[in-house]
Chain A
Amino acid sequence: MTEIYPIGGGKGGVGKSFIAASLGALIAKWGHNVVVIDLDLGASNLHTLLGMKSPKLGLNHYIDKTVRGLESTAVPTMIPNLFFISSMHCSMEIANLLHAHKLKIISAIQKLPFDYILLDLGTGTNFNTLDFFLTSKEGILVGTPEPTSIENFFRFINAVYFRILKQTLKRSEFHSAVKDAVTEISGATAGTHDILKIVSKYHPDKVTDLKNKLSEFKFKLILNQFRKNMDSTLGNKIETVCNRHFHSNFQFLGTIRYDGQIHDAVFSKTLYVHKYPHTQSSSDLKKIAEKITGNRRPTSLPKEIS
């Protein structure tokens, strides 16, 4: 069965692309078929973190119908079983993505014949980014152990909730007052709570359904760039708080320790986990990858020890 993991998180520079490339490489090394897709349209750089030059083939060839299936745009990487779909040559910015194109990409992603599909999303809570995040029923949020980044965790969760509610409430059976409220309230603040309140006024019977809708989505959390002397229980605390105070299920996958060599690897355009497999950070990434795959190894291939 295919598992799709969008990788998001409001803030830029927290390491979303780095984590997408690393997890993709690790899971592929264990024998699974993996594709990482660069959906940071307009600011693509995932290829660099994968240690390769920008491929000629990309998402744009699927949109402009040069190739028939999205599958054909996946190019091999230096790691066997790991494939890559670039969006380097997509002329459009994410904000300008045509609605029809977006839907076409999402439904094509959901049909890709891989074991694991990792989506590297762009910064921010732009509604196109959120829609890509909602391609799956579960997604990974990446942050760093800094106040601004943790704030963004919550902002992103709220924005995802808002997007889910908005999609649901657009439907005709809801009262126009509810629809007006959704249009008025911006997703940035405590929108979810306010919307649920209004819904409970006009459709008290539908509140539970809406909450269930929110709880269907599962969040996984990663803290990157962790340094010594930081509160090592921070991630678990965030998990506890989110599980208590938001409607969904949250799982903390782990922390990745800071390593200056990561920076060097990016500069020398090499795949970090491949070049430095035995560092603390690589071992942190391995543990996270194991949690994602649940230690499942493909049965068809001989076990590889890495």
Chain B
Amino acid sequence: MKYFDGLNYYEILKIPENSSFLEIKQAYRDAVSIYSEDSLVTYSLFSTDEREKILKIIEAAFLTLIDGNQRAAYNRILVDSGQSDTTFISGQSQKKSDPVFHPGKAANDDQLAADATKNIQADEEKQLSDEILSKSSVSGKDLKKLREALGVEIHEIHSLTRISVSVLNAIEENRLESLPPDTYLRNFLKLYAEVLQIDPLKIVDGYFKHIYRVQNTD
């Protein structure tokens, strides 16, 4: 039996070093579902002690990588110890503008096969995001639904984007009177969409269309 000997936090969570917030979160969720006590896969494979050790490491990996400052410090350690090159540390900010749910995104067959696990798992989420993206107008309710399906909390969006929780709530609850001026709102929606890795342009357009519709039906 081998454990995580010699693996770094990224390898333990099976994610690339430039992973986004959402990818780290999903990877953590996957890891816990594999190693938890009631997991069909591993319940018979590890003793209670072994399992606790494994879950502790996974937890440490997650808590480090999900926190911007801790992650930067950890990356530096990896580079200093020669485990990683400097290419990813220079572009320190995590990749943001790569919408995984972008419809029509080209991918070759091999990649599709390799991503099969993720795809199956993200099926429901993808369906939901496709559904939202195909709408001509996007309401706050749609955004909330997607955010919850992805397992992202309001306060997490707040800490990543610095948009205040009350504004985020106003966006999700369609409280037009509490929304900031359009230029700000446009930017906020873009940041919000980036965290959820959904096409920002469509979300901004859709949301403004939604507002327009509501205002003109009153």
User: Is the beta-carbon distance between B1 and A150 smaller than 8 angstroms?
Assistant: no
Instruction: A233 to B3: give the CA distance in the assembly, Å.
Output: 22
Q: A154 at the A/B interface (Cβ < 8 Å)?
A: yes
Say whether B73 faces chain A, with CB atoms less than 8 Å apart.
no
Query: Across the interface, do A241 and B45 meet the contact criterion of CB distance under 8 Å?
Result: yes
Residues of A within 8 Å of B44, CB to CB, are 147, 150-151, 154
B120→A233 contact, CB < 8 A: yes
Chain B interface residue number, banded: 10 to 19
Interface of A is mostly: helix
Please state if A245 and B34 are interface contacts (CB–CB under 8 Å): no
- A196-238 interface with B by 8 A CB criterion: 231-234, 236-238
B127 CB–A CB distance under 8 Å: no
B42 touches A241 (CB 8 A): yes
Contact B41 A150 (CB under 8 A): yes
A244 in contact with B2 given A232-B120, A236-B117, A237-B34 (CB within 8 Å): yes
**Does A6 make an interface contact (CB < 8 A)?**
no
Bitwise interface map of B from 1 to 40 toward A, beta carbon under 8 Å scored 1, else 0: 1111000000000100000000000000000011000001
**A246 to chain B: which residues have CB within 8 Å?**
1-2
Quick one: which of B34, B42, B45, B121 has the most chain A CB within 10 A? B45
Q: How far is the CB of B120 from chain A (nearest CB, A)?
A: 5
- Total chain A interface residues with beta-carbon distance under 8 A: 21
The answer to whether B43 and A147 touch across the interface, beta carbons within 8 angstroms, is yes
Q: Which residues of B contact A192 (CB under 8 A)?
A: 1
> Does chain B have a CB within 8 A of A166?
no
Report whether over half of chain B's contact residues are helix, strand or loop; otherwise say mixed.
loop
Within 8 A of B (CB), among A258-277: none
Say yes or no: B40 contacts A234, CB within 8 Å: yes
For chain B residues 71-124, which have a beta carbon within 8 Å of chain A? Answer: 116-117, 120-121
Question: B33 contacts which chain A residues (CB < 8 A)?
Answer: 237
Q: Which of B2, B40, B43, B116 contacts A245 (CB 8 A)?
A: B2
Select B2's contact among A154, A236, A237, A247, beta carbons within 8 Å: A247
For residue A240, CB closer than 8 A to chain B, the reply is: yes
Q: Which residues of B contact A232 (CB under 8 A)?
A: 120
Tell me whether B1 and A190 are in contact (CB under 8 A): yes
Check if A139 is an interface residue, CB within 8 A of chain B: no
Of residues B33, B41, B116, which shows the largest number of chain A Cβ atoms within 10 Å of its Cβ?
B41
| Contact yes or no, B41 A238, CB < 8 A | yes
Nearest-CB distance from A149 to chain B (Å)? Answer: 10
Q: Which of A147, A233, A234 has the most CB of B within 10 A?
A: A233
Chain A residues whose CB sits within 8 angstroms of the CB of B121 once the complex forms:
233
Nearest CB in chain B: distance from A143 CB, A: 11
Which chain B residue has the least Cβ–Cβ distance from A146? B40
Q: Which residue of B lies closest to A148 (CB)?
A: B44
Bound-state CA distance A233–B118 (Å) is: 9
Most chain A Cβ neighbours within 10 Å, of B14, B33, B43, B44: B44
**What separation, in Å, do the CA atoms of A232 and B123 have in the docked complex?**
11
Which residues does chain B contribute within 8 Å of A145, judged by CB atoms? 40
Instruction: Decide yes or no whether A303 CB sits under 8 A from chain B.
Output: no
Query: Taking A232-B120, A233-B120 as contacts, is the C-beta distance between A241 and B41 under 8 angstroms?
Result: yes
Report Cα–Cα, A245/B42, bound state, in Å. 11
Question: Is A193 part of the binding interface, using a Cβ–Cβ cutoff of 8 Å?
Answer: yes
B3 near A245 with CB under 8 A, answer yes
How many whole Å from A126's CB to the nearest CB in chain B? 21
Contact B120 A154 (CB under 8 A): no
Q: Identify 24 residue pairs between A and B in the complex whose beta-carbon atoms are under 8 Å apart, listed by A's number.
A: A147-B40, A147-B44, A151-B44, A154-B44, A154-B45, A192-B1, A233-B120, A233-B121, A234-B40, A234-B41, A236-B116, A236-B117, A236-B120, A237-B33, A237-B41, A237-B117, A240-B14, A240-B34, A240-B117, A241-B45, A244-B2, A245-B2, A246-B1, A246-B2
Known: A154-B45, A190-B1, A193-B1. 5 other contacts (CB 8 A): A240-B117, A241-B41, A241-B42, A245-B1, A245-B3
- Interface residues of chain A, those whose CB is within 8 Å of chain B, are 145, 147, 150-151, 154, 190, 192-193, 231-234, 236-238, 240-241, 244-247
